[in-house]
Amino acid sequence: MRADLSDAIALLRYLFERGIAPSCEKAADANDDGKLNITDAVRILLYLFAGRAPLPEPLFRCARDPTEDRLGCEAFAPCEG
């Protein structure tokens, strides 16, 4: 598992072009504030291209998100199977 530019693009499409909703909102919440918005896409881009701090736990592993919030996770393909 890893984050890449397509993650930020997919999130921006969902937010601004009525694109496909993330199947795992918790994984898309890149700043771990319990909401999906443009700051999550910006956080992904800063991580990828500006060498900012890692994305929140559970980073690139299959585990429970330690942050309690209202976001769900119906499916996360990298962890299924």
The answer to whether residues 67 and 32 touch, using CB atoms and an 8 Å cutoff, is: yes
Give the model's confidence band at 81: pLDDT under 50 very low, under 70 low, under 90 confident, else very high. low
What pLDDT does residue 36 have?
97
Instruction: Give tens-digit pLDDT for 23-49.
Output: 899 999 999 999 999 999 999 999 999
Instruction: Give the pLDDT of residue 11.
Output: 97
Domain extent at residue 57: 5-79
What is the pTM for the complete model shown?
0.87
How many structural domains is the chain composed of?
1
More confident residue, 69 or 77: 69
How many Å apart are CA 34 and CA 52, to the nearest integer?
20
Distance between CA atoms of residues 35 and 1, nearest Å: 22
DSSP 77: G
Please, where are the H alpha helices in 1-81?
A: 5-16, 25-28, 38-49
Q: What is the average per-residue pLDDT within 48-68?
A: 87
Inform me whether the pLDDT recorded for 67 exceeds 80.
yes
